Amino acid sequence: MFVKVDPPKRETPDTVPQVDDVVDDAEDGADQEHGDWAPESVGARLQRSLHATAWRCRRPLLPHLIAGGVAGGGFASQAITAAGAVSAPGMATILAGLAFPSAFAAVKATKRHRRRLGHRVLLGGLFAAGWLTLAPYGIGAGDLAVLGTVEVALAARWWQHVRLGYPAPQEPNVEEPEVEPVNRATQIISDWAAYIGGQGCALPGSALTLPMPTEHGYAFTAQLARGKQSLRSVVAALPMISTGLEEPLEHLIAESAPPDPVTGKSFPSRCRFQVVTRSPVTGNVDFDGPRRDGGLIGLGPWADGSGEAQTRLYTEGSMWSTVIIGETGSGKSRVAENKVISALSGGDTVYWYLDPQGGASSPALAKHADWFGTLRDAGDMANAAVAILDARGEENSIEGWTGFTPSPDRPGLLIVVEECHDPFDQPTWTPLWTRIAREGRKVGVALLCLSQYPGVKTFGSEEALRMNVMAGNTIVLHTTSNSAGQLMPGLDVDPQTLPNIPGYCYVQGSPQTGTRTAPFRNRNTTPEGRKDLAEQWLARQPQPRLDTLAVTATLAAGTAYRDRHTSTSSGRAASATRVEALRSGALPEDLRAPQPTPARASVGEMGKLIEFPRALVPADLESTAPLAPRGPLSELTGSRLAVVQAVAAGATRPKEIEAATGLKHRQCADLLKELVASGHLTQPRYGRYQAAA
């Protein structure tokens, strides 16, 4: 082996000499400008290898060199003190004056190149200065052990970043390994600090901590600014968080943080924040059968894939109401169908269906309901439900029962009210619905309310009605109301901020229900190409009937419930009659606008205006109804007499008679039939009444 002997050359700090670069084969040698080729001895080769190894290890060995320097300085100061040249306090003062400024200078220099190591250099410098200050008083084995331990602890991070290098392989066409991407959880924490928690951002002063991988993404603990932010603040800021993290809104979940696992204490200034990177609710989530666990109804998977979103229908001694808020097309009625099908699957629930749109919201629910009605029947339905409340309350008192337990022989009654703002906003009906919501829980009567508008007016501006319905379950879908979140007290989620995805719901949780405030995807009961799916599932479920006590109690409110399947003036029969009349080109009587009452002849300055009767025509004779035998008017009392007197005073339509007498719609209709049959009233044409001559 030969080596080229060159003049000494100073290498720059960034140059790392390689052994293969200084040792070559002799046959490649040639006379060079700065030296001649000569044989290399074994000692020279060993010296050169040691030099190259030391140079390669110079940076990893830097903490050891510094610690060795500190130890050497300490022994030197101890020796000087032992020789009597300087006293121990004097030497300690000198070392402190030199060491502490040097430590701060080292920190300043380190921050220019490796800012993250600045605090470690500061701690190491202060410890070294303190160790040197105490060295003149004597150094023992324990002092050296402490110095070594501190060195290893503080240098660990340095050794993570500064690793021993190796010569690069000389193989040609070797592909460089791919740079490992930044961990997504780390990136989310960094983006939160920069775009969410910074000053002037959506949640200034907040931070994400404790990242934890989940089956479908990452979970964090969000530490909020105490006294300034809460879970509601995070939920309201989700649209801004979405843009800050560059994640779709439907992939973000904020909910209450679980209690501390050690102490069991809850921290209101913390919340659980999840980023779903592999959503389990993307695409179609179709209904595949009822899901009922005791009294809990499963509606669909949580957005983070952690299980099934459930709402309560029955708990021990109680039956709970539900409100569903969402704009047109958001899937409210599909959620109602889902819940009703699962409720019926237990064989212990009966449902009534009230739809001001004539059953168009859910034809399946209208077809299979124990009682279907439109807005015209809302008063009858509310009065019948209140009658059941009274009867079952009295039954509980007699039997000593506390609360309600459903069974096929005594089923719960679920009243589904579509567009509930319409019937709830009627002044004469609002107290009835309020009483049902307030007292129905303990006697097995509950409301399932649906509306597009999330304001208090949805509940007839009646706080007791709103509060008692929301105490059960609250489900929110997307709406377009600009102030939706502020109009319904107790609602944490602003419906306007929810993704406009059919069936994407937020369930309002509470400590009382044990339910999460988190999004889920409702299982669609009308998937593409299966419009009759809900009707098929409803037809398969048990169809119990109300108990005899409840059925009999409805008669206290009239015969509307008894005649619900035979009457042509209410329910599906009335709707069918109106549709058939419209198809034939005739406007049904109850849809006609009331005609103005002719003005009476007035007395003028020139005399009295007299209206002369016209000649009779055959049509007048045909329309005259035969008089039925009747008893004397003095036999009539109470409501019957009031109806006859109202008709005699000029009230000819049922609505006018109801307004004049104060009777309920069903009671008035029954009395009119009875009085026509007894001959006290006549009905010259449909929907018109007059007193018999």
Q: Is residue 96 included in any domain, yes or no?
A: yes
Q: What average pLDDT does this structure show over 374-381? A: 91
70-87, pLDDT tens digit by residue?
Answer: 887 878 887 888 777 778
Residue 449 and residue 370 share a domain: yes
Query: 69 and 43 in one domain?
Result: no
Report the CATH number at residue 270.
Answer: 3.30.980
Q: Is the pLDDT of residue 618 over 60?
A: no
The reported pLDDT for the residue numbered 151 is 75
Place 513 in a pLDDT band, splitting at 50, 70 and 90: low
Q: What is the pLDDT of residues 395-429, one digit of tens each?
A: 999 999 999 999 999 999 999 999 999 999 888 89
Which pLDDT score is estimated for 509? 72
Residues 6+ apart with CB under 8 A from 114: 161
Q: Single out the residue of 160, 230, 218 nearest to residue 189, CA to CA.
A: 218
**Tokens 């098929």, residue located:** 536
**Is 337 in the same domain as 434?**
yes
Q: What separation in angstroms does the CA of 310 have from each of 178, 253, 365, 545?
A: 45, 17, 21, 26
Q: Which two tokens stand for residue 431?
A: 């107290």
- pLDDT at 26 (0 to 100): 37
Could you list the residue range(s) of the whole structural domain that residue 519 is in? 292-572
Evaluate whether 670 touches 621 at the Cβ level (below 8 Å).
Answer: no
pLDDT at 577: 74
The CATH number of residue 670's host domain is 1.10.10.10
What confidence score (pLDDT) does residue 650 get? 83
SS3 143: helix
Q: Which residue has the higher pLDDT, 344 or 645?
A: 344
Taking Cα atoms as reference points, which of 463, 462, 316, 469 lies closest to residue 402?
Answer: 316
Q: Which amino acid is at 78?
A: Q
For residues 127 and 263, membership in a common domain is answered with no
Window from 214-228, 307-321, 334-348, 663-677 with minimum mean pLDDT: 663-677
Q: Is residue 153 part of a domain?
A: yes
- The string of pLDDT tens digits covering residues 152-185 is 777 776 776 666 655 555 555 555 555 445 688 9
CA distance 337 to 351: 11
Tokens of 264: 């069991």
* Contact yes or no for 56/28 (Cβ under 8 A): no
Strand partners, 42: none
Q: How does residue 541 score in pLDDT terms, banded at 50, 70 and 90?
A: very high
- Give the Cα separation of 657 and 421 in Å (integer): 26
* Whether residue 419 is found in the same domain as residue 378: yes
Give the H or E element holding residue 466. Answer: helix 463-470
Look up the CATH number of the domain holding residue 402.
3.40.50.300
User: Which range among 4-8, 98-102, 571-575, 586-590 has the greatest average pLDDT?
Assistant: 98-102
The answer to the question of residue 506 being in a domain is: yes
Q: Is residue 663 very low, low, confident or very high in pLDDT (cuts 50, 70, 90)?
A: confident
Query: Tokens 């009392």 appear where?
Result: 637
Distance (Å) of CA 642 to CA 236, 328, 671: 57, 44, 10
- How many domains, in total, are found in the chain? 5
- For the chain, how many residues are written? 693
Q: Are residues 378 and 512 in the same domain?
A: yes
Q: Per-residue pLDDT for 198 more than 80? A: yes
Supply the pLDDT for residue 349.
97
- Asked if 494 and 485 count as a contact pair (C-beta separation under 8 A), the reply is yes
Which helix (DSSP H) or strand (DSSP E) does residue 99 occupy? Answer: helix 88-113
Residues 188-215, mean pLDDT to the nearest whole number: 93
Does pLDDT of 340 surpass 50? yes
Is 55 within the bounds of a domain? no
| pLDDT computed for residue 142 by the predictor | 79
Residue 494 has pLDDT above 50, yes or no: yes
Would you say residue 610 lies in a domain?
no
pLDDT bracket for residue 511 (50, 70, 90): low
Domain shared by 46 and 82, yes or no: no
Write down which residue in 114, 130, 161 finishes a domain: 161
Q: Is residue 467 part of a domain?
A: yes
* Higher per-residue pLDDT: 218 or 42: 218
Mean pLDDT of 438-442: 95
Does residue 287 sit within a domain? Answer: no
Separation in Å, CA 43 to CA 40, 46, 49, 328? 8, 5, 10, 90
17 and 128 inside one domain? no
> Terminus-to-terminus CA distance in the chain, angstroms?
142
List own/partner pairs for 345-349 with CB under 8 A and 24 or more apart: 345/290, 345/292, 345/541, 345/542, 346/292, 346/406, 346/542, 347/408, 347/541, 347/542, 347/544, 348/406, 348/407, 348/408, 348/411, 348/412, 348/544, 349/313, 349/406, 349/411, 349/412, 349/413, 349/414, 349/544
Cβ atoms of 645 and 593 within 8 Å: the answer is no
Q: Are residues 414 and 452 in the same domain?
A: yes
On whether residue 614 sits in a domain, the answer given is no
What per-residue confidence (pLDDT) applies to 666?
73
Q: Average the pLDDT over 653-667 and give the result.
A: 81
Give the pLDDT of residue 2: 43
Task: Tell me if residue 153 falls in helix, strand or coil.
Answer: helix
Show which of 29, 50, 71 is a domain's final residue.
Answer: 50
**Burial (CB count within 10 angstroms: exposed 0-12, middle 13-18, buried 19+), residue 166:** exposed
Residues 244 and 323 grouped into a single domain: no
Same domain, 270 and 308: no
Average pLDDT, the chain: 79
The share of the chain scoring above pLDDT 90, in percent, equals 33
- Cβ distance 353 to 366 under 8 Å? yes
**30-44, 459-473, 502-516, range with the lowest pLDDT:** 30-44
Question: 581 versus 119: which is more confidently predicted?
Answer: 581
Q: Are 43 and 66 found together in one domain?
A: no
